[in-house]
Structure 1
Amino acid sequence: MSRLFPYLLLAPALFVVGAFFLLPLGFSVAGAFEGKEGPTLENISRAVGLYRTDLLFTLLIVALSTALIGAGAIAIGGYLTLGRNRTARRILAALYRWPLFIPFIVAAQAMRGFIGQNGLMNNTLIWLGLMPAEWAQSFLDWRGIVITFVWKQLPFATLLVAGAMAALDRAGIEAAQNLGAGRARILFGIVIPQVARNIMVALVLSFVTMMSVLSVPIMISGQSPTMLTVAMAWRINAMGDYGTANALGLIACIASGLVAWAWLRNSVREAAR
């Protein structure tokens, strides 16, 4: 019985992964190749032909958002680790976590009221006299999607990165400070190389998460091109075309899988060294 106990502990987690992830994934992959007369590549061909621009748009938006998230996480984590103003560090540590508890759909709705042409951001700048009223413009396009993704996902990445930085041995950092090294040199020369793996984990998880979000692109931007999640929802709700929608989902899974595979391959090489 004692030998079976670890497997019994794993059973609920394995059941959830199998029932709510692997099984639907299998049906989706099978549906991408399902035709009226048997297996076919027609769904894949239609998805690539009709939504090639949307695929490129999705990859660019998610890649840009991931890069900004990484830069923001490094900046915040670096200041929490190396900053000298304790009050500023405490305020920053308390503020940056807030978006972590807000769902994507709520974040998208909040951003609609903040970055729209008559939103809070423009009205505040006009009221403060920092911008004339005729300069007000709407950011409810690709820029709004990027802003929302970064604002929502940055706390998650920062928790991973800042936590790894806080766990570092301070002896090397203090030695560099005693030798007169600046904070930027310490951050990029000592801290980041030691937490590079944690940064990559945060970026990969953020990339995969943003690839699957529907509420942000559909609520922020109604323009074309759009993200693959919106295209999938439209094929199902407007046309009942589950085959093409499954094909689009398969393409998104492959894109996410390639990013994860590249990170795993790099991690294995580093471990082998």
Structure 2
Amino acid sequence: MHTIVALLLAIFFTLEGLYSTSVKPTIKNLHIKINSLPPEFEDFRIAMVSDIHAGPSVGKHRVFEIVETVNSLNPDAIAIVGDFVDGYIKNMANRIEPFKHFHAPYGVYGALGNHDYFFEPVDNWITYFSEKLGIKMLVNDAVLLKKDGKELCFVGTDDLLADFLNVRGHILDVEQALSQCPVNISTIVMAHQPNGAAKVLREITRLNRRVDLILSGHTHAGQMFITLPFGYLFNIYFFGHYFYAPTDTQIYVSSGINYWGPPLKMFPSLCEIVNIRLLKA
């Protein structure tokens, strides 16, 4: 009897997990109140998507669906927060071709994730995303978004995995990433791993720099029931909206749009695109 119950539960959770990853993405609306946000950036909208994982089971149709859904939000800017692909350029080129159709008046920006290091040399991906797909990759780099004479600093770090790899020119360098941001300007940082976000918080404390919001992904909110405890235990921030009082910084960890490995996720709501609206506190 126990065996039959276990088998039925396994079948149920597998089918439910497959269903969760096959339906249209969930839109998560997130209002972020920022102290001293320039009035010109009141109601500025950022579409955040992370963990696309284009690869063996995430094909062109799913990528097109993500792009179409993001564009339907009419965002001012788009943030792609790491783990674009699981594969090589020669195999992925057709699958990720829809990326070039992302559109936002203030730009489409990307930060590296750990999976972007796993196959193709990461510098090849940086060049490909930038030159072929029109995604401005921010690798310890920043841009100043300008609106009616005021500015918002938008930053991307390298992935935390780079701190443990011997890849020339790659390390999560917060000081370098923020070097183009004027002091005390409203600042948003993309850092794929929540533990990378924790490094950002430690560094801005040391550097006495301002960061209002950090966007992360990576954890998939556990992805599957059996892996959930490990995701929770090994990440300083796991899933959702956090506040770090010492630096007045908010952190949002997305559950990601897709999955890693088997096409399973606990709930459809965990395949999310985050529709961020900036508000003056």
Same fold (TM over 0.5): no
TM-score scaled to structure 1, two decimals?
Answer: 0.25
TM-score scaled to structure 2, two decimals?
Answer: 0.24
Higher-Rg member (1/2) = 1
Structure with more of its chain in strand, by fraction: 2
